[in-house]
Amino acid sequence: MNDTTLLLIGHGSRNREGNKEILHFAAQWRERHPAWRIEVCFIEHAEVLLDEGLDRAARAARNVVAIPFILNAAGHVKMELPAAIERARARHPGVGFSCVRHLGMGREIFAVLQGQLERLMKSLAMPDPQTTGVILLGRGSSDAGANGELAKMARWIFEEGDHELVDLAFTSITWPRLETVVQRQVKLGMAQICIVPVYLFTGVLIERIQAQVERLQRQYPQIAFALGSHFGFDNGVFDLLDARVSGIDCAEGPLLECDGCKYRLAAEAEHLHDHSHTHVHDDHGDHGHAHQGHDHGHDGHHHHDHAHA
């Protein structure tokens, strides 16, 4: 690893505290691995962006490994990051550039979300899960695959727990929104509602969520709400990154699932075309148009038997 630089790539937030938290995370990660060379940059809303970050990482290095420090891959990870790495390869022909997968929604993040939910249930004095609704709250994306990853987490929590209702909601860009899902769960008889934000670090949207929940508490005084927090400093996130790094191959090869794909250039052109029109762009989110005619979250479940892992 002495000739390799690990470049941790955050999305970037208009809230400076969110960017500071990522820098703090990197400092803690360096403490865990003092022999590793770890740099940080951001996709937007920060001083050091992709091109400069890749240039810094390439100094005195033979290999640069880009690590998208992002939960779900959408336009930024699938198009902007591979394009930036191609430019860096042209600027630094003597350096090998590779890229590991983004954090994703696998068993590691699922375990983190389960831990969040367990803490929320304890804060409510362990109520009956049959009358306690769960809402996974993501940032929302114009990429259906990214939204589908959150839906997978909701289904896994439903399958491995005893909660009657496990729904998903989004803070921006897509639907349903938090208020709509809370209204539905109240109508279906939930006495408590646990809201689990699926966010790594603080930012503008975290502040928005806190304000929304305060308003919902006033609107539904008979409901006990428990709101989780962002979880970027959870040990499970550090362990997931360690696993990503342990499996890297620094040979200059394909990036992500989309690098080298014949469809990427067309998709990138469409993405840039979208930017030329009026669009919705929220903090920590990808770009997409506001749209109507959409499917909402899954319907309520009947009482069920569980096969516990």
- Identify whether 276 is part of a domain: no
Of the candidates 199, 156, 152, 180, the residue with the CA atom closest to the CA atom of residue 10: 199
Residues 23/39, Cβ–Cβ less than 8 Å: no
Q: How many domains does the chain have?
A: 2
What's the rounded mean pLDDT across residues 37-48? 96
pLDDT score at 78: 87
pLDDT score at 73: 80
Q: Which of 136-145, 189-198, 300-309 is predicted least confidently?
A: 300-309
Q: What amino acid is encoded at 281 in this protein?
A: H
Are 134 and 80 found together in one domain?
Answer: no
Task: Assign 74 a pLDDT band (cuts: 50, 70, 90).
Answer: confident
CATH assignment of the domain containing 264: 3.40.50.1400
Are 140 and 44 found together in one domain?
Answer: no
d(CA 153, CA 64): 31
- 297 pLDDT above the threshold of 50: no
pLDDT score at 287: 38
| Structural domain harbouring 130 | 107-227
Are 33 and 144 found together in one domain?
Answer: no
pLDDT digits (tens, 9 = 90+) for 245-282: 988 654 444 444 444 343 344 444 554 444 444 343 44
What's the rounded mean pLDDT across residues 7-30? 96
Q: What is the dihedral of CA 254, 258, 260, 266, to 10 degrees?
A: -160
Are 198 and 253 found together in one domain?
Answer: no
- Identify whether 208 is part of a domain: yes
Are 148 and 188 found together in one domain?
Answer: yes
- Identify whether 275 is part of a domain: no
pLDDT digits (tens, 9 = 90+) for 178-198: 999 999 999 999 999 999 999
What's the rounded mean pLDDT across residues 14-37? 97
Are 36 and 124 found together in one domain?
Answer: no
- 35 pLDDT above the threshold of 70: yes
Average pLDDT, the chain: 85
Are 178 and 152 found together in one domain?
Answer: yes
Are 127 and 59 found together in one domain?
Answer: no
- Identify whether 93 is part of a domain: yes
Last residue of a domain, one of 161, 196, 227: 227
Of the candidates 215, 213, 239, the residue with the CA atom closest to the CA atom of residue 228: 213
pLDDT score at 1: 67
Give the position of tokens 């749209």: 291
Are 65 and 121 found together in one domain?
Answer: no
d(CA 210, CA 223): 16
Report pTM. 0.80
Are 158 and 129 found together in one domain?
Answer: yes
pLDDT score at 249: 52
pLDDT score at 46: 95
Are 17 and 77 found together in one domain?
Answer: yes
Residues 77/68, Cβ–Cβ less than 8 Å: yes
Are 112 and 60 found together in one domain?
Answer: no
| Distant-in-sequence, close-in-space partners of 48: CB < 8 Å, separation ≥ 6 | 40, 41, 42, 56
Mapped onto helix, strand or coil, the DSSP state of residue 33 is coil
pLDDT digits (tens, 9 = 90+) for 199-225: 999 999 999 999 999 999 999 999 999
